C-alpha cells in the first residue's frame, strides 16, 4: 500500500458538502475580493488565535512582507532569524533590501536558539523573526524579553503553527505581528494561496489593512505604497469551513505522533530520533520530523516502496545561491546544517490510518536491519 506524505482528497471526502455550500454562498453575491466573508473569517481566526486583530492577505509570504512593511523595514535594516526554515521567512526580508542576520537553531526543537540572539544584535537590528517550525512554538519568553529590552519588533512566522501554544498562549498572539499561511498543505489549508496577519496592536492592524490594498487611506488616496495583498472571498469561505475541523485534525496529528513513538519503541529503532516536545507547548505536528544518520539511503528506500517521506529543508538559507552576497560560509550554523543533512519528515496527516503507520515503521525497521547486517 502506498502511503502519501499528505492526502488532501481523503480530507475533502469528509467535508465535501460543507465546502460546496460555502462556495455557493460566495457565488450568489459575486463579491470575490475581501468583503463580508473575509471579514468574518478574520474575526474567527483572531478569536481562535486569541489575539485582537486578524487581517487576511494573499499568502503566508505576503503576510511576512506586509508585516515587515508595516514596521517600516528599510534597506540596510537587519532582521534576526533562523537559516533553517522555508525560503519565504527570509526572502521577504531580502525583498525589502534589508539584511537577514542568521542565528543558529536549538537542535532538539529546530527553532531559533534564544541564547544566541543577543550576540547577533547590532545598531541596525530592527526585528526578530522566530519561526514556529514543524508546528511547535519557539521558546518565546526569552525572545520576548530580548525584544522588549533591546527595543526590537517581534514577528512570529506562524505559517506552520496554527493553534500551537506556548504556556497557554497561541501562535501569532505573542509578537507584535504574527504571520499565517493557508497554502493547501498547511494544517489549515485553503484551495489556493492565502495568508493572514495577526496583531494585538490597533495601529499596526490598521497599517497592515492599508498596505494590503495599495496603501489606500481612503478611496484613491494613497498615503503609503502598499500592494495587492488581498484575500479572496472563496478562500475565506473554504477556510471558515476547515477552521471548524482544525482542532479535530490537530488531535489526529497528535495521536499519529504518539502512534509512531510507540511503534518506534516496540521495534527498538534507537537509530531514529523522534521529534522532541519542549515543555509547556501544544505541538500541532505540521510535520513529524525524525533524524537518521543514514537519512539519504533511508529516504531512497522509503520512496522506492511508495512511502511519501520528504526533506524539510535540504539547504539552510545561509548557503542558498541567492544569498552569497551575505558572505556566510558552510560551518557558520552547524546545528542548522546538521538538521538539513539528517532530518526526514514522515507522513503525519490526520487521515493516516494505523495500518499505514505500521507500514511506514515496518519499512524503516527493515532498512535498519539491512544496514546492520550489511
Ligand X SMILES: *Cc1c(COP(=O)(O)O)cnc(C)c1O
Q: Is position 256 an interface residue for ligand X (rule: CB under 6 A)?
A: no
Q: Is position 102 an interface residue for ligand X (rule: CB under 6 A)?
A: no
Q: Is position 86 an interface residue for ligand X (rule: CB under 6 A)?
A: yes
The interface region with ligand X, picked from 38-46, 56-64, 342-350, 358-366 by CB under 6 A, is: 56-64
Q: Which residues, 156 to 185, sit near ligand X by CB under 6 A? A: 157, 159-160, 181, 183
**Which residue is it, cell 534597506?**
75
Query: Strand pairing partners for 125?
Result: 78
- Rounded distance, CA 117 to CA 147, Å? 10
- Helices 8-27 and 233-243, axial angle in degrees (round to 10): 130
- Rounded distance, CA 256 to CA 265, Å? 14
Point out the residue whose Cβ comes nearest to ligand X.
60
Tell the smallest beta-carbon distance from residue 180 to ligand X (Å).
Answer: 8
Total H helices, total E strands in the chain: 11, 16
| Residue number, 77 or 157, with CB nearest to ligand X | 157
The correct pick among 49, 82, 85, 287 for binding ligand X (CB under 6 A) is: 85
- Rounded distance, CA 107 to CA 338, Å? 9
Query: Strand pairing partners for 343?
Result: 291
Tell the smallest beta-carbon distance from residue 77 to ligand X (Å).
Answer: 20
The interface region with ligand X, picked from 135-143, 152-160, 214-222, 327-335 by CB under 6 A, is: 152-160
Q: Is position 131 an interface residue for ligand X (rule: CB under 6 A)?
A: yes
Tell me which residue of 239, 254, 148, 156 sits closest to 192, measured CA to CA: 239
Give the binding-site size for ligand X (rule: CB under 6 A): 15
Tell the smallest beta-carbon distance from residue 193 to ligand X (Å).
Answer: 6
Q: Which residues, 185 to 204, sit near ligand X by CB under 6 A? A: 193, 195
The correct pick among 55, 65, 79, 88 for binding ligand X (CB under 6 A) is: 88
In the chain the beta strands, taken as DSSP E runs, fall at 53-57, 78-81, 99-102, 105-106, 111-112, 125-129, 153-157, 165-166, 169-170, 177-181, 195-199, 216-218, 221-222, 281-282, 288-291, 343-346
Tell the smallest beta-carbon distance from residue 98 to ligand X (Å).
Answer: 16
Residues near ligand X, by CB under 6 A: 59-61, 85-86, 88-89, 131, 157, 159-160, 181, 183, 193, 195
Amino acid at each position: 500500500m502506498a502511503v502519501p506524505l499528505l492526502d488532501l482528497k481523503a480530507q475533502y471526502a469528509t467535508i465535501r458538502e460543507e465546502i460546496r455550500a460555502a462556495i455557493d454562498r460566495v457565488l450568489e453575491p459575486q463579491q470575490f475580493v475581501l468583503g463580508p466573508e473575509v471579514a468574518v473569517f478574520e474575526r474567527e481566526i483572531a478569536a481562535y488565535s486569541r489575539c485582537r486583530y486578524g487581517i487576511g492577505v494573499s499568502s503566508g509570504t505576503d503576510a511576512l512582507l506586509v508585516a515587515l512593511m508595516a514596521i517600516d523595514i528599510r534597506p540596510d535594516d537587519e532582521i534576526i532569524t533562523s537559516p533553517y526554515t522555508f525560503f519565504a521567512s527570509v526572502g521577504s526580508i531580502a525583498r525589502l533590501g534589508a539584511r537577514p542576520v542568521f542565528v543558529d537553531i536549538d537542535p532538539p526543537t529546530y527553532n531559533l536558539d534564544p541564547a544566541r540572539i543577543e550576540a547577533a544584535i547590532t545598531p541596525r537590528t530592527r526585528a526578530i523573526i522566530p519561526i514556529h517550525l514543524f508546528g511547535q512554538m519557539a521558546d518565546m519568553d526569552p525572545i520576548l524579553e530580548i525584544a522588549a529590552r533591546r527595543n526590537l519588533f517581534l514577528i512570529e512566522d506562524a505559517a506552520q503553527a496554527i493553534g500551537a501554544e506556548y504556556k497557554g498562549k497561541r501562535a501569532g498572539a505573542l509578537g507584535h505581528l504574527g504571520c499565517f499561511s493557508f497554502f493547501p498543505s498547511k494544517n489549515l489549508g485553503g484551495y489556493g494561496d492565502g495568508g493572514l496577519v495577526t496583531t494585538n496592536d490597533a495601529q499596526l492592524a490598521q497599517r497592515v489593512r492599508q498596505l494590503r490594498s495599495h496603501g489606500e487611506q481612503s478611496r484613491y488616496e494613497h498615503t503609503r505604497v502598499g500592494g495587492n495583498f488581498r484575500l479572496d472571498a472563496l478562500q475565506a469561505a473554504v477556510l471558515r469551513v476547515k477552521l471548524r475541523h482544525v482542532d479535530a485534525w490537530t488531535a489526529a496529528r497528535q495521536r499519529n505522533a504518539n502512534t509512531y513513538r510507540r511503534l518506534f519503541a516496540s521495534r527498538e529503532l534507537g537509530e531514529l530520533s523522534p521529534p522532541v516536545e519542549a515543555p509547556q507547548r501544544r505541538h500541532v505536528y505540521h510535520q513529524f520530523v525524525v533524524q537518521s544518520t543514514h537519512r539519504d539511503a533511508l529516504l531512497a528506500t522509503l520512496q522506492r516502496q511508495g512511502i511519501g517521506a520528504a526533506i524539510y529543508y535540504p539547504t539552510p538559507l545561509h548557503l542558498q545561491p541567492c544569498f552569497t552576497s551575505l558572505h556566510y560560509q558552510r560551518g557558520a550554523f552547524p546545528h542548522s546544517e546538521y538538521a538539513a543533512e539528517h532530518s526526514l519528515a514522515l507522513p503525519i496527516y490526520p487521515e493516516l490510518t494505523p495500518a499505514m503507520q505500521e507500514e511506514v515503521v515496518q519499512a524503516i525497521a527493515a532498512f535498519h536491519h539491512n544496514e546492520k547486517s550489511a
